[in-house]
Amino acid sequence: MKGLLPPPGAVRLLSIGGLVRTTGFGIMTSVSVLYFTQSVGLSAAQVGVGLTIAGGCGIAASVISGRVADTVGARNTAIALVLIQSLAVCAYAFVTSFTGFVIAASVVLSCHSAAEAARGALVAGLIPAEGRVRARAYLHSVTNAGLSIGAVSGGVALQADTRGVYVGLILACGALFASSGLLYMLLPQVQPVEKPPGQGGWEVWRDRPFLLFAGLTAILAANDTMLAVILPIWIAQHTEAPLAVFSVVLIFNTLMVVLFQVRASRTTTDVPGGARAMRRSGVLFAVCFALWAFASGQPAWLAVVALLAGAVVHTLGELLWGAGAWTLAYEMAPDHAQGQYQGVFTMSCQLETMVMPVVGTMLILPAGPLGWLLFALLLLAAGLAAPAVARRHTNREGTLTWN
């Protein structure tokens, strides 16, 4: 299909490298929990605690790596992080204790998050401003494709359920990460941008409009966990719909993001356009959650209709949210500090992975449909607030007018 293949040059190399890396991450995600519980002998609780600690380390690492990318260059930073990640993944094969697991997982997830921030800065350094959001759209599409390929591949191989298969898959993941880093070596160097007089340090923490935007991003990003973690539990425990409908929802979502994320990115070209896309995404997420809430207590056929309709609306919201958020993340950041700004943006997108599983399972699900509706109002408010936050930035800069 026209437009699915990234254009030649940096975007294509970044996309191929991203596809290789996320395929490895998909395999790792699908096998690691079973490997550590079935083969290493850790308890499920130990794995859960270890991954929570590792996730926290990853969130902190994304901000630090962005600052490093501004200082030494985004390309070299991204390559180093991916190569370290490949070694840490291979170290999984030698883990024999909870402590070893926490250390290895923390390095793996820290490098994964940090590489995301460095990659955001790398896009800013390699791609002209007008093409950055489209480049991120290509990368997001291949991320979805890679994770799906990796998860399916790992799931098929897991049928053997032997230590040899687990270790082989883990080492294959390490090889894929290393290959991704080697592909990035084909990209041109990205030199740090000289800072204007009087600028420097952690500028992003002094930029109130951007921090407000990051906060809204953290709220709207929760749509991902609501889809992947909370929805299947909701279907199984609170609706009459067959659980298989969740597989349909997930496949539909993945395919639509792969096929249409690049097209959706064309709707946002500046700060006002990005803000409007985020506003619309908040409205769509609210409608989606209302439909999923409605599925409770309905006959099976009507519950399925509501769940699938919600999936369509959710996917439209996700496409707009991604395009709008990437636009603001780049357009609101000064060129000499793209790394630290992309680091905070990455952190805001990842915060929900630590918070939402707990909030969803302990607050939203027990509250039933009311829990979904209240959370829908939160995302609606976040979306509606985006234009006002973006306007604060443009008013300060004095460079854009709003229609």
Q: What average pLDDT does this structure show over 311-333?
A: 95
Would residue 192 count as lying in a domain? no
> So what's the pLDDT on residue 81?
94
Same domain for 120 and 228, yes or no, is no
What value does the CA radius of gyration of the chain take, rounded to a whole number of Å?
21
pLDDT higher than 60, residue 87 = yes
The pTM is what? Answer: 0.86
pLDDT higher than 90, residue 28 = no
- Which pLDDT band holds residue 266 (cuts at 50, 70, 90)? confident
- Which pLDDT band holds residue 291 (cuts at 50, 70, 90)? very high
Would residue 234 count as lying in a domain? yes
Strands, E assignment, 65-154: none
Same domain for 93 and 160, yes or no, is yes
- Which pLDDT band holds residue 38 (cuts at 50, 70, 90)? confident
The least confident of 4-13, 211-220, 246-255, 283-292 is 4-13
Distance CA 20, CA 150 (A): 9
> So what's the pLDDT on residue 398?
57
Single residue among 129, 155, 186 that ends a domain in this structure: 186
Same domain for 300 and 352, yes or no, is yes
Same domain for 181 and 207, yes or no, is no
pLDDT higher than 70, residue 403 = no
**Residue range(s) defining the domain that contains residue 290:** 203-398
**In terms of pLDDT, which residue wins out, 197 or 82?**
82
> So what's the pLDDT on residue 336?
86
List pLDDT tens digits, range 328-387: 999 999 888 888 999 999 999 988 888 888 888 888 999 999 999 999 999 999 999 999
Burial of 5 (0-12, 13-18, 19+ CB in 10 A): exposed
For residues 224 and 379, is the Cβ–Cβ distance under 8 A? no
Distance CA 348, CA 366 (A): 26
Q: What average pLDDT does this structure show over 294-322?
A: 96
Instruction: Specify the CATH number for the domain of residue 82.
Output: 1.20.1250.20
> So what's the pLDDT on residue 252?
92
For residues 81 and 17, is the Cβ–Cβ distance under 8 A? no
Same domain for 17 and 164, yes or no, is yes
Secondary structure class of 332 (helix, strand, coil): coil
Same domain for 25 and 127, yes or no, is yes
Q: What average pLDDT does this structure show over 78-97?
A: 93
Per the listing, tokens 């929900």 go with 352
User: Number of folded domains in the chain?
Assistant: 2
For residues 75 and 190, is the Cβ–Cβ distance under 8 A? yes
The encoded tokens of residue 37 equal: 């519980």
Would residue 197 count as lying in a domain? no
Amino acid in the structure at residue 182: L
- Which pLDDT band holds residue 200 (cuts at 50, 70, 90)? low
> So what's the pLDDT on residue 199?
66
Distance CA 93, CA 36 (A): 10
Would residue 191 count as lying in a domain? no
Per the listing, tokens 């291979």 go with 90
**In terms of pLDDT, which residue wins out, 254 or 156?**
254
> So what's the pLDDT on residue 340?
92
List pLDDT tens digits, range 217-257: 999 999 998 998 899 999 999 999 998 899 899 889 989 99
